[in-house]
Amino acid sequence: MKSLSLPTASKSTLTTPGRVTMCVRDLMRHFSAQLPPKSNYVRQARQFLEDCLIKNVPIDEISFKLYVGGKKPHQVSPIRKFILFYQTIGQPTVIPNPPGSTLSDAVDELIDWFLNDATGLRGEYSRRTYQQALNTFFTFMEAQKRAGQHAQLTASFVETYVNYQKNKANNLSPYTINLHLSAIKQLTAWCVRRRDRLELTQTQVNDLRDIEAIKGLAVTHTYHKESLSADQREQLLTGVKSARDLAILYLLSYEGLRTIEVCRLRFKDLDFDRQQLHVLGKGKNDTEPIKFFEACQQIIKAYLQANDWWPIRDQKMNEYLFENATPPKGPLKTNQIRYIVDKTLRGHGLKKKGYSAHSLRHTVAQLLIEANIPLEYVQEHLRHKKIETTQVYTRKKTKQVYFEIMPD
């Protein structure tokens, strides 16, 4: 590798005239995008890069050999892979992260490592949500430190942060605050599991464990989306010309699937013989069977026949039921399904404030309740973890008929 020409400065900047300039954080995030989940390569590469910046030396074979001297093979491989990546992207100019504009390097590294290692976060959306929540928390922590306040990752400080969130002028909901708290608790639990790698003292471990005991805010479950009546549902499903779109609408409005669950459906999840639909829910690793209603079966079969996929051949079993027609190949995205629903709602004059793709899941729940299906069966069909979530729909029905039923 060519050596980079370096200016003489007390604070290192690895520069070469005419090249793209990137700060450490951006470079590491580009490197991270090339790696598989749970990889520890970013942490090792960042330490090497920071060492080059501190010593004001180029990122080349000489600095590599000096840095890895005496290190174990598993510590050397990440650096070698990073240098290859650095060469591939054209050896950009490397500068330190802008001061005061973002989190400290140590915190940023900790969050990146946690997110790479986290097995419970399914999908890029969940990872971004947790990253934003943790960034907000640590930004608050660093602001407290600058103000001369005691700010450490302890239970008392996390409780201070929760109270701060409760009292913010933008009136955050208990749900949002609990989401932030959940991200912090999962991070601290991960730190405890990685205490040897992080070289934590027993006092630090005890402080982190105390955070697990913090209780979230009480959340009153309410229905956030409107639902259609039985007649409106039938109206929605009338005149849909696309067999694919109709199949998607039936899965949403009869089976009550979430948009992400429709995206994840594979051919093997359709069990016509036992009348079961196997659904991979949000945050789940295994599918759960639900009743495959006859009306939905007929529409799905029509969709398969229209594409010459019926009967289903063995080689298609692992393929997604709904795939992109154009590259890149893969399952439909949730935004594509939301577009189909919104377009159909507008076409029937049903698109109003509060009506969305998720309204169709609420529709299924509400119509099952109104058909006097026992609550525990509705919970099973919607795959709610808590019966309280399902009871939301009974409260909605109660509010609707209260004035009619209540005696004078």
Q: Which amino acid is at 207?
A: D
CA atoms of 43 and 5, how far apart (whole Å): 26
Q: What backbone torsions phi and psi does residue 329 show, to the nearest 5 degrees?
A: -70, 140
List the structure tokens of 131. 């990253």
Active site residue 282: yes
Write the DSSP assignment of 55-96 as a string of letters.
HT--SSHHHHHHHHTT--HHHHHHHHHHHHHHHHTT--EEEP
Query: How big is the chain by its Cα radius of gyration, in Å?
Result: 27
d(C-alpha 2, C-alpha 253), whole Å: 61
Q: How many CA atoms lie within 13 A of 213 on its CB side?
A: 8
384 catalytic residue (yes or no): yes
Tokens of 195: 């205490």
Cα 44 from chain centre: 25
Tokens coding 384: 């709610």
End-to-end CA distance of the chain: 88
- 21 bridge partner residues: 93
Active-site position among 258, 264, 362, 381: 258
- 43 catalytically annotated: no
Which of the residues 25, 185, 361, 362 is marked catalytic? 361
Q: How far apart are CA 54 and CA 51, in angstroms?
A: 5
Question: Catalytic pick from 209, 225, 351, 358?
Answer: 358
Q: Tell me which of 225, 282, 291, 383 is the catalytic residue.
A: 282
361 is catalytic: yes
DSSP string, 3-34: PPP----SS--B--TTS-EEEHHHHHHHHHTT
Considering 86, 161, 355, 393, which one is annotated as catalytic? Answer: 393
Catalytic residue among 43, 122, 384, 396: 384
DSSP per-residue string spanning 112-123: HHHHHH-SS--S
Active site residues: 258, 282, 358, 361, 384, 393
